[in-house]
Chains A and B, each alone.
Chain A
């Protein structure tokens, strides 16, 4: 809300500082007020997104964990069940989606935890910006760091589970769209469990039931893609879930974050 922030700024007053202070190069308050412009909601969201991306690349181990988990789980199934491709192809959609769901859950715990710990969430809540927009930005960063890489890894997993190369585009699109919904649903759970120590188990109890529609339609789309049929119908439903998430989840997450700050 740029208008209200501008109203909240101090009107520039004559600088109460001497000329030599200005000459030392330290910017005077009046200078700063003259040049300072309130950031728009878009600026704020962009910076929140960039902050999370930059932080993630400073802590790569955390970034790689869910992806390695996804790769491991999907590799284990051929070993455990049978190397027969026809059989693997049948279970491939389920394996792929359960693994993706759990991998995205693994990363979820870190979505707000550090920010709550170091006071960043508090500053977000007091920034005068829309907390909903900031939560959306954080969730978007989360998707870019887990959902998108999962979608890009899905072909590898699908091929090892006996899917044909023709099915790859469909699988990538389905996982990409589905993981948007997963990140958004997860952001509500992560925000709700903020005040709780060792919230992992509760987080999965909260998030997994809500994620079931995504799992069902995602697995169905993948199954159809592997079978070479049109997977548009379940994909559209996945898209609808993602859109619903985009409109509602950041609102809910922002409300939950406010409660956790109390």
Chain B
């Protein structure tokens, strides 16, 4: 899908008395990556959540392929995956069960696909353990398996490398590189910069939010 494009026009978002997003604008083409940086509290997460349509901006709009996403939010959601700070996993289900239920609500999955994705992110050995017994890094890896499973054009990631070791950072890099290589887009809020593999596809575009 080479004509996919994401445009954000002049977003203004208020949270109570706080003017969090002050006229944020950017455009992203297929195969491009946007790195959102900024100090704590500068509104990175708010921007990502507004982008996904979870929050309503006071002004401005998000355009997907030229159409306001509010017009058909469900179609837009079907085209994106959002990973927040915390991996959306149930402590009382195993890694495999978590993915089955979570991704299964979006895609029909075969068991081998699930196993392959868990293997891919290095969580194959702990796929049958309850998530409550996994470390933060392992949970993050399980959540990343969702990215390996969902072939959607837009990835919206909030700090995708938190809690990951060096190998995990590389894994994020290779997942992102793959997404960009096949013409997907990535919007990622980061603190330490994205893994090197991403830079092979041209410098990621930068967006710095002022606190």
Please, which residues of chain A bring their CB within 8 A of the CB of B116? 25-27
Please give the distance in Å from A51's CB to the nearest CB on chain B. 4
Q: When each residue 55-69 of chain B gets 1 if its CB lies under 8 Å from chain A and 0 otherwise, what string results?
A: 110000000000000
Cβ of A122 within 8 Å of any chain B Cβ, yes or no, is yes
Cβ of A247 within 8 Å of any chain B Cβ, yes or no, is no
Please give the distance in Å from B118's CB to the nearest CB on chain A. 11
Of B54, B78, B104, the residue contacting A122 (CB under 8 A) is: B54
Please give the distance in Å from B107's CB to the nearest CB on chain A. 5
Cβ of A210 within 8 Å of any chain B Cβ, yes or no, is no
User: When the two chains form their complex, are residues A36 and B151 in contact, meaning their CB atoms are under 8 A apart?
Assistant: yes
Known A-B contacts A25-B116, A35-B113, A36-B151; A119 and B105 likewise in contact (beta carbons under 8 Å): no
Find residues 119-136 in chain A having any chain B CB closer than 8 Å to their own CB.
119-120, 122-130, 134
Cβ of A195 within 8 Å of any chain B Cβ, yes or no, is no
Q: When each residue 224-262 of chain A gets 1 if its CB lies under 8 Å from chain B and 0 otherwise, what string results?
A: 000000000000000000000000000000000000011
User: When the two chains form their complex, are residues B181 and A16 in contact, meaning their CB atoms are under 8 A apart?
Assistant: yes
Please give the distance in Å from A195's CB to the nearest CB on chain B. 13
Please give the distance in Å from A122's CB to the nearest CB on chain B. 7
Cβ of B80 within 8 Å of any chain A Cβ, yes or no, is yes
Please, which residues of chain B bring their CB within 8 A of the CB of A124? 105
Known A-B contacts A47-B105, A120-B88; A33 and B151 likewise in contact (beta carbons under 8 Å): yes
Name 17 extra pairs, CB < 8 A, besides A1-B75, A27-B113, A35-B113. A4-B75, A9-B79, A10-B182, A10-B183, A11-B1, A17-B178, A27-B117, A32-B113, A36-B108, A39-B107, A51-B90, A126-B52, A127-B105, A127-B106, A128-B78, A128-B79, A262-B54
A: residues with CB less than 8 A from B are: 1, 4-5, 7-11, 13, 16-17, 25-27, 29-30, 32-33, 35-39, 43-44, 47-48, 50-51, 54-55, 58-59, 114, 118-120, 122-130, 134, 261-262
B: residues with CB less than 8 A from A are: 1, 52-56, 72, 74-82, 84, 86-93, 97, 100-102, 104-110, 112-113, 116-117, 119-120, 148-149, 151-153, 178, 181-184
